Structure 1
Amino acid sequence: MKILISADMEGATGVTWPADVLPGTPQWERCRSMFTSDVNAAVLGFFDGGADAVLVNEAHWTMRNLLLEHLDDRVEMLTGRHKSLSMVEGVQHGDIDGIAFVGYHTGAGMEGVLAHTYLANSFTGVWLNGERASEGLLNARVVAEYGVPVVLITGDDLTCEDALGYAPGALKVAVKDHVSRYAAVCRTPTRTAAAIRSAAKEAAALSERHAPVSDGPFTVEMEFDAEHLSLAATVVPGVARTGERRVAYTSDTMYEGIRTFKTVTTVVSAAVEECYG
């Protein structure tokens, strides 16, 4: 049994505001250890549950945040940017039996600690076939096309609620309770590590590949906080404006859908100007 862990940071233990996750800040340096603790707890739990191998894919910002030297020696870690499937890179090779979303968060325009969808700002909402989409929902639709179930989600309490919609059977661990976008009631790393390890051990039993599932076509609609960003996004083939600050595109598969989405985010990021956005 091989498990893939997609590890994001905004939903990690103790994280509540931008400096906690912005590479290079003192707060980020401090929170890296708690992020690593969450991931390592999942690693240990999956091995407790019978996994033969665990691959961790770093999925936050520069994708160089986890402390490899603090992870269990049996694990392997994929670190660095520019990967074909970004946050779920590794799922496409046919050897993954289950995937865990560790340190996840809710989507742009939703309640939740540090809520966003891929871009920290700029998006005010993302929808997949009419349903407001978090990164968890988008990534779950991608991995389903490879027959891989989502078996574990960790993050704040609202992230766990969001996951009921895209992975109802997965184990869920809330490491903190949402108060506002930049505030939460947090549990200590010792408590959250124990909870994550226990859930991961149980989740290992759910890690069984199934027939690939694709419910395409998939229409992704995005709303921005400024008009010029919607115009910038239309440089991507297939992306068209549907409103002053909205664009949409349709893909036959979520493999194509997520790659187009990442292209849009790259273009839009380059169109954001200092101060005025």
Structure 2
Amino acid sequence: MRIFISADMEGVTGLVDADDVQPGGRDYERGRLMMAEDVNAAVRGAVAAGATDIIVNDAHGPMRNILPESLHPAARLIRGRPKHMGMLEGLTSEHDAVICVGYHSRAGALGVLSHSFMGHEIEDIWLDGRPVGEIGLAHATAAAIGVPVAVITGDDCACTEMTEWDASVRTVAVKYARDRFAAALRPADEARADIEKTVAAGLSALPRASAAAPGPSTLMVRWQSASVASTLLGIPGVASTDSRTVQAQGALPSLYRLFGVWMRVAASLTNQPPYC
């Protein structure tokens, strides 16, 4: 069994603030170790379920958060950027399941460290008219590749968002949002034991999956800056719906990769801190 783990950071056990998850933050070094421990719990669960090949993609920020020496030896790490497929770099149709560790709710939700990919630079995203964030877009892209998302971990708001998108995905709430930068925390050992148990159970009862029927999807993004939207119109196939909103049609996962290009353009035009 081949398992792909996409590891974000905002939804990791114990972390609630930008200083916990941004390089240079006063608690970042502790945060990256907490991230590795949540990932390792998922790896242990995968091994218990019979996984023989486990890839972990460091999917947060600079994508160099997990120290290689802190990762469980049963897993291999994809580290650094740029990555053409971003948070899903390395996922192929040969994988049997995706595990999302440390994920968070989309922009506008009152979840811990909620945002959609770029802090407040991205105000809203829609996929085929449906509001979406990192959770839904990762799920839809994995489904297009033909791989089911089996488990997601994060705060309770992230878990609710996943359940609303696909109720068959198992969830582990490692903390309960009180506000965007505050949460009631589960004890770390308890949360990680739950991650390990849920991953093992989820992988032992995987649904059959096949790649979604080919066909175009529509991705629409509203940016905080009209400058970003205006610049993106120079990319063939990108159209505007208003001064700050652009859209494009295409088949996933190619559309997911195109969205990564949009974000790189936006990053070159703005210098906004991720959590404002």
Please give the TM-score of this superposition, normalised by the length of structure 1.
0.93
Alignment of 1:1-277 (within 5 A): 1-92=1-92, 94-207=93-206, 210-214=209-213, 216-251=215-250, 253-273=251-271
Deviations 1:157-180 (A, max 9, x none): 010011113332121000111111
Cα RMSD (Å): 1.8
- The one-letter amino acid paired with 2:217 is F
Q: Greater shift after overlay, 11-20 or 97-106? A: 11-20
Partner SS for 2:219: strand
Would the aligned equivalents of 2:121 and 2:272 in 1 still touch at CA under 8 Å? no
Which runs of at least 4 in structure 1 moved beyond 6 Å after TM superposition?
none
- The one-letter amino acid paired with 2:231 is A
Q: CA deviation at 1:72?
A: 2.0
- The one-letter amino acid paired with 1:262 is G
Q: CA deviation at 1:257?
A: 0.8
Structure 2 vs 1, CA of residues 216 and 106 (structure 1 numbering), >3 Å: closer, same or farther? farther
Structure 1: distance between partners of 2:100 and 2:214? 21
Identity of aligned residues (%): 35
- The one-letter amino acid paired with 1:105 is H
- The one-letter amino acid paired with 1:78 is I
Please give the TM-score of this superposition, normalised by the length of structure 2.
0.94
Structure 1: distance between partners of 2:271 and 2:79? 29
Structure 2 vs 1, CA of residues 109 and 235 (structure 1 numbering), >3 Å: closer, same or farther? farther
Q: Greater shift after overlay, 228-237 or 132-141? A: 228-237
Partner SS for 1:145: helix
- The one-letter amino acid paired with 1:124 is E
Would the aligned equivalents of 2:145 and 2:253 in 1 still touch at CA under 8 Å? no
Deviations 1:59-100 (A, max 9, x none): 0111111132222221111111122221112222x3210010
Partner SS for 2:197: helix
Would the aligned equivalents of 2:84 and 2:260 in 1 still touch at CA under 8 Å? no
Partner SS for 2:145: coil
Structure 2: distance between partners of 1:91 and 1:9? 19
Would the aligned equivalents of 1:46 and 1:203 in 2 still touch at CA under 8 Å? no
Structure 2: distance between partners of 1:209 and 1:86? 25
Q: CA deviation at 1:215?
A: 6.3
- The one-letter amino acid paired with 1:182 is F
Q: Greater shift after overlay, 107-116 or 168-177? A: 107-116
- The one-letter amino acid paired with 1:271 is L
Paired residues in the alignment total: 274
Partner SS for 1:190: helix
Deviations 1:225-245 (A, max 9, x none): 232222122222211221122
Deviations 1:185-238 (A, max 9, x none): 112221111110110110111346522114632111111223222212222221
Structure 1: distance between partners of 2:207 and 2:199? 14
Structure 1: distance between partners of 2:34 and 2:222? 33
Would the aligned equivalents of 2:18 and 2:25 in 1 still touch at CA under 8 Å? no
Deviations 1:108-127 (A, max 9, x none): 22221111111122111111
Partner SS for 1:242: strand
- The one-letter amino acid paired with 1:130 is G
Structure 1: distance between partners of 2:227 and 2:120? 14
